[in-house]
Amino acid sequence: MGTLAFIATLAAIWYLAYQGAGATLWVSLLLGSLVTVTLATDIRWFISTPLWILATAMVLLLGVPRLRRKYITRRLLKQFKKVMPPMSDTEREALEAGSVWWDAELFSGRPDWERLLNQPHTHLSEREQAFFDGPVETLCRMLDDWKITHEDQDLPPEVWDYLRQERFFGLIIPEEYGGLGFSAQAHSDVVIKLSSRSIVAAVTVMVPNSLGPGKLLLHYGTPAQRDYYLPRLARGEEIPCFALTGPEAGSDAGALPDTGVVCYGQWQGNRVLGVRLNWEKRYITLGPVATLIGLAFKLHDPDHLLGEEEARGITLALIPRNTPGVTIGARHIPLDIPFQNGPNWGKNVFIPMDQLIGGEHYIGKGWRMLVEALAEGRGISLPALAVGAGKVCSRHTGAYAAIRQQFNMPIGRFEGIEEALARIAGMTYQMDAARCLTLGALDIGEKPSVISAIIKYHLTEGYRQIINDAMDVQAGSGICLGPSNLIGRTYQALPIAVTVEGANILTRSMIIFGQGAMRCHPWILKEFAAARHPDRQRALEDFDHALFGHVGFLLGNVARSLFLGLTRGRLSHTPVKGPATRFFQQLNWMSAAFALAADTAMMTLGGSLKRKERLSARLGDVLSEMYLVSATLKRFNDDGSPESDLPLLRWSCERSFYRMQESLRLLISNLPFRPLGWMLRVVLFPSGLPWTEPDDRLAHQAAQTLLQPSDTRERLTAGIFTSDDDRFREGVIETAFVQAARVAPIEKTLRNARRAGAIKGGSREAQAREALEKGLISEQDVQALDQMRMLRRRVIAVDSFEHYGKQHLLNENSHSNHEAVQS
Ligand SMILES: Cc1cc2nc3c(=O)[nH]c(=O)nc-3n(C[C@H](O)[C@H](O)[C@H](O)COP(=O)(O)OP(=O)(O)OC[C@H]3O[C@@H](n4cnc5c(N)ncnc54)[C@H](O)[C@@H]3O)c2cc1C
């Protein structure tokens, strides 16, 4: 009886913890267990009496808030204040900016899958689709990337005109101001398609639609500013840039030394109150051609013309290019990707107060405005560029591997190449899924700052991996630049994507978990807010609520991690039945394990976790991989769970789970307090480490999706510029790819016949003739093989130049591409 009662009590404890029960249920359990033990067992009085005294004390402490606060919470609050990391105003503003969304579910240890799956899958509206099929397609056909990058180092005037005429600079500006008023999804789709033709064009379009005057005016502009500037920006009459970075302020942009002093000055012939500015900025995209500079600086009011405060903080203003004192510098050359980029300076530039974005009301709120705008913009532009690269490599490099032959075989059939192709396909599938999930959130009005950091970092890192793999596969044909090269400029542009909008090392080490832990954790921010509350009684009450909520959360995650770890997620809730079921269950497990690991690291390291960037980065990696898996599962579900996409789903999920496991393993083995690491290892992985990299069979299946025409390949690469017109480089490779699939069985017949000795060796033409004579293949087959040989020659040809660096092209490929563009 005693043993049974003991087991029942343990089971009840575990159940309450698993369900995250509150104090009342714990107190009831405690009393219930003691009553049962006292009445149903022959426990001796000298054991039961201390137990009852202890239980009564715990009931009083846990069940009576006044006592609990006085004897427990007050002390803990004092300790908490001591270890609480200091936080600057800019840090706090950055933390508070934006919203939390699916990231908070992943942090909860028990994600609500229905919430994810019920989020509508966004599609282009009719108007957006028409723009995509019309002006975007036309623009793609106008773009000659080689001419832009090598000969002109700029977009040609007719492209600039077309961008203005079709309102490419006003994608995000509402129709009432003359813009196109497109969704985030449409904006991203446009960037992807343009980037597949010319990264210079894509960057030129994405920057005015991203963080900059347009977006800032939309959110914070005064009515007069919006009415004046937004129509001009939408029509391209004003070309904007946004100038934050300077020589002394890169990643630590909040430390910018540029100043504005409140004073009186002359503006259009009148003496008005305004700001005298001095700045030095560099790396500013569109800067050299901009007519309107969005400027970030620190505002000072030494003469107290605005009020008591002297240092007013980071403020944003709009500076017309022709304002006296403004100097636009020469151009930088960002890795030979010649979008407009350069430095600018201002010396004693005077502007009136109404040039401050949002007017006086937004003085000193510049950092928050920037972080909020970044929370949105960072989730669109660079992820689109990265996914565009993934799609280009999936389609063209996959095709190249099917067309290029060495050792008498398409190189895509070699296992080494398959390994690279599997990564290209699997990662593109997952990256595109993460892009779309995030755009869906933006389109329902979320500003998910942690998620946008996750996808900025992971998608550009994915781009890094993919473009390196593609370069390995295409080898010389990827390296030799010229009009026929399909991936060279995409390769060169990679470090730019990695560096801008939050350089990647910083984003991984400081931002993702640093911000995620504070924003997404259900209790931490509440504890901080309570500890900072000026009213001591209120601080105590709020801290008490947050603290005991946190304890329940922690116990719940211990119970869930152990149970889910022992069962490897089996038996846990899954919203769908089918091939994806196990991945949902495994993610339930990882969510609980992550929440517990994060809490353990935060509780033991406190403020020093901020300096332990490696640990913080690993926790951020787990959170990120969970987001990527969620997105992949949602994509598979939204697409109707097509069986042919299964290799990509499985490859990307298995890789992500392996990466989560390895990040947790490294976190555990690097926690400074070793016994805690050992305990965590047992609770998180009680049944061992289950995951490995995707196996060879799966990698083979994933690679196959790129090597022949299929619906999966079409879905994977949808949205980039393609053509069946062989005057375009994309058309040449596509035609050859289709033909390669057509002749693959004929080539196999020839290979088998050679192996069996039915035909002799010799050139391929000779083999084909002999096979024809022996009736092994038909006349039509021979013609198909001849055609394939010609197409293959065109695909593998690279450009050569009479004078290195000059414009004399020697091969025909290049001319045909030029002609196509001109026609
Ligand atoms: C082509 C291009 C276009 C750009 N366009 C614009 C624009 O339009 N407007 C604008 O204002 N800016 C623009 N930038 C600036 C861009 O945002 C900065 O380059 C970026 O913020 C990094 O600054 P930095 O290059 O000075 O590097 P640094 O700040 O010197 O950083 C160097 C390295 O240190 C790392 N690092 C820094 N601090 C930490 C830390 N605490 N922990 C870990 N790692 C850290 C960074 O991740 C990076 O890897 C552009 C830059 C480029 C190259």
**For the segment 314-339, what is each residue's pLDDT rounded down to a tens digit?**
999 999 999 999 999 999 999 999 99
Whether 587 has a pLDDT exceeding 90, the answer reads yes
Write the burial class of residue 418 (CB in 10 Å: 0-12 exposed, 13-18 middle, 19+ buried). Answer: buried
Ligand 1 nearest-atom number relative to CA 332: 1
Q: Whose CA is nearest to atom 23 of ligand 1?
A: 250
Count how many residues are written for the chain: 823
Ligand 1 pocket: which of 205, 239, 242, 245 to mutate (most atoms within 8 A of CB): 245
In 3-state terms, the chain is what percent helix, strand and coil (to 5)? Answer: 65, 10, 25
Residue 809: predicted pLDDT: 56
Ligand 1 nearest-atom number relative to CA 510: 42
* CA dist., res. 197 & res. 195, Å (int): 5
Q: Which residue in 105, 128, 376, 501 is the catalytic one? A: 501
Q: Whose CA is nearest to atom 24 of ligand 1?
A: 250
Ligand 1 nearest-atom number relative to CA 251: 29
The stretch 552-572 carries a mean pLDDT of 93
**For the segment 218-264, what is each residue's pLDDT rounded down to a tens digit?**
999 999 999 999 999 999 999 999 999 999 999 999 899 999 999 99
Q: How far is the CA of 500 from the centre of ligand 1 (A)?
A: 6
Ligand 1 pocket: which of 292, 339, 506, 609 to mutate (most atoms within 8 A of CB): 506
Write the burial class of residue 11 (CB in 10 Å: 0-12 exposed, 13-18 middle, 19+ buried). Answer: exposed
CB 143 within 8 A of CB 197: yes
**Residue 175 among the catalytic residues:** no
Q: How far is the CA of 498 from the centre of ligand 1 (A)?
A: 9
**For the segment 118-170, what is each residue's pLDDT rounded down to a tens digit?**
988 888 999 999 999 999 999 999 999 999 999 999 999 999 999 999 999 99
Ligand 1 nearest-atom number relative to CA 502: 21
Mean pLDDT of the chain: 92
Ligand 1 nearest-atom number relative to CA 281: 11
Q: How far is the CA of 502 from the centre of ligand 1 (A)?
A: 6
Q: Whose CA is nearest to atom 11 of ligand 1?
A: 244
What is the β-pairing status of strands 311-320 and 292-300?
Answer: antiparallel
Ligand 1 pocket: which of 216, 242, 500 to mutate (most atoms within 8 A of CB): 500
**For the segment 425-435, what is each residue's pLDDT rounded down to a tens digit?**
999 999 999 99
* CA dist., res. 376 & res. 446, Å (int): 8
Instruction: Say which residue, 763 or 477, is predicted with more confidence.
Output: 477
Q: Is the dihedral of CA 669, 675, 676, 678 positive or negative?
A: positive
Q: Whose CA is nearest to atom 52 of ligand 1?
A: 283
Ligand 1 pocket: which of 200, 252, 282, 283 to mutate (most atoms within 8 A of CB): 283
Q: What proportion of the chain, given as a percentage, has pLDDT over 70?
A: 97
Q: How far is the CA of 499 from the centre of ligand 1 (A)?
A: 6
**For the segment 336-362, what is each residue's pLDDT rounded down to a tens digit?**
999 999 999 999 999 999 999 999 999
Q: Whose CA is nearest to atom 36 of ligand 1?
A: 506
Q: How far is the CA of 446 from the centre of ligand 1 (A)?
A: 26
Instruction: Say which residue, 268 or 779, is predicted with more confidence.
Output: 779
Residue 811: predicted pLDDT: 53
The stretch 690-697 carries a mean pLDDT of 97
Q: How far is the CA of 310 from the centre of ligand 1 (A)?
A: 29
Q: Whose CA is nearest to atom 12 of ligand 1?
A: 245
**For the segment 535-558, what is each residue's pLDDT rounded down to a tens digit?**
999 999 999 999 999 998 999 999
Q: How far is the CA of 109 from the centre of ligand 1 (A)?
A: 34
pLDDT band at 590 (very low <50, low <70, confident <90, very high): very high
Ligand 1 nearest-atom number relative to CA 287: 8
Q: How far is the CA of 321 from the centre of ligand 1 (A)?
A: 24
Instruction: Say which residue, 120 or 309, is predicted with more confidence.
Output: 309
SS3 206: helix
Write the burial class of residue 132 (CB in 10 Å: 0-12 exposed, 13-18 middle, 19+ buried). Answer: middle
Pocket of ligand 1 (CB under 6 A): 241-245, 250-251, 283-285, 334, 341, 496, 499-500, 503, 505-506, 509-510, 613
Residue 787: name the closest of 805, 773, 771, 768 by CA: 768
Q: How far is the CA of 251 from the centre of ligand 1 (A)?
A: 5
Q: Which structure tokens are listed for 257?
A: 């030394």
CB 476 within 8 A of CB 800: no
**For the segment 459-493, what is each residue's pLDDT rounded down to a tens digit?**
999 999 999 999 999 999 999 999 999 999 999 99
Q: How far is the CA of 506 from the centre of ligand 1 (A)?
A: 9
Ligand 1 nearest-atom number relative to CA 501: 17
Ligand 1 pocket: which of 205, 216, 499 to mutate (most atoms within 8 A of CB): 499
Q: Whose CA is nearest to atom 7 of ligand 1?
A: 284
Query: Which residues on neighbouring strands pair with residue 809, listed in sequence order?
Result: 801
